[in-house]
A and B are shown apart, each in its own frame.
Chain A
Amino acid sequence: AQSVTQLDSQVPVFEEAPVELRCNYSSSVSVYLFWYVQYPNQGLQLLLKYLSGSTLVKGINGFEAEFNKSQTSFHLRKPSVHISDTAEYFCAVSEQGAQKLVFGQGTRLTINP
């Protein structure tokens, strides 16, 4: 069965600094990978997804993620964060054919002015 580990529960950064949120997964088969964002008091919104093809995936709000099969990772990056990026970020994995998502524990990103 697949599993997801988000390596940092909280990440504080200063505004306009770069950020990386780390995600590792475990699966014995091919997977699809997702990043979702949850703004305060809201539901989850899809940031980006990797299905196949190019390992660098670009999403909304300037975020991107890179799929690394050998390291079983799917880290999320943004070169310059804004106060509005303050949110909780969830990595999720779906085994091909499984049709269900397994979520990581979440990383709370806090942007300081």
Chain B
Amino acid sequence: DADVTQTPRNRITKTGKRIMLECSQTKGHDRMYWYRQDPGLGLQLIYYSFDVKDINKGEISDGYSVSRQAQAKFSLSLESAIPNQTALYFCATSVSVGGTDTQYFGPGTRLTVL
């Protein structure tokens, strides 16, 4: 079984709809992240959480919100989706070892906003 799972894997929605993307992990890591990937731009950090009570904005948090329901679950919401939020979304987890983190990624959710 995969250590980091994302649901759904694909989603098509309409402008103005509320969307939630979910991420679960069995790695026991405290740290979780949400990224979006756009062609030619690499990955951009949306939000990150270092534990259940800690939520931080990343580079591109506008239009997004998150919820850390438990150590193993981190959800990303688009309150009112817009077409330029069409992208590939990745969840990642990490644990700090020796002062640095190695991040482990889920398989991604492809979101299309019409």
A-side residues, CB < 8 A to B, are: 4, 6, 9, 32, 34, 36, 42-46, 49, 51, 90, 94, 96-97, 99-101, 103-106
Given contacts A9-B40, A45-B105, whether A96 and B99 have CB atoms under 8 Å apart is: yes
Residues of B in contact with A (beta carbons under 8 Å apart): 4, 31, 40-45, 48, 50, 58, 90, 92, 96, 98-108
Task: State whether A94 and B100 are in contact (beta carbons under 8 Å apart), knowing that A103-B42, A105-B41, A106-B42 are contacts in the complex.
Answer: yes
Residue from A9, A32, A49 having most chain B Cβ neighbours under 10 A: A32
Query: Of A36, A42, A44, which is in contact with the most chain B CB atoms at under 10 Å from its CB?
Result: A44
Query: Which residue of B has the minimal Cβ distance to A31?
Result: B100
Chain B interface SS verdict (over half): strand
A97 near B48: Cβ-Cβ < 8 Å: no
- When C-beta atoms are compared, the residue in chain A nearest to B58 turns out to be A100
Q: How many A-B residue pairs have CB under 8 A?
A: 52
* A90 in contact with B42 given A44-B90, A45-B105, A100-B48 (CB within 8 Å): yes
Residue of A nearest to B43 (CB): A103
Give A43 to B93 CA distance when docked, in angstroms: 12
Known: A46-B102, A99-B100. 19 other contacts (CB 8 A): A4-B42, A34-B102, A36-B105, A42-B108, A43-B4, A43-B90, A43-B106, A44-B43, A45-B105, A46-B103, A94-B100, A96-B99, A96-B100, A99-B96, A100-B45, A100-B48, A103-B42, A105-B41, A106-B42
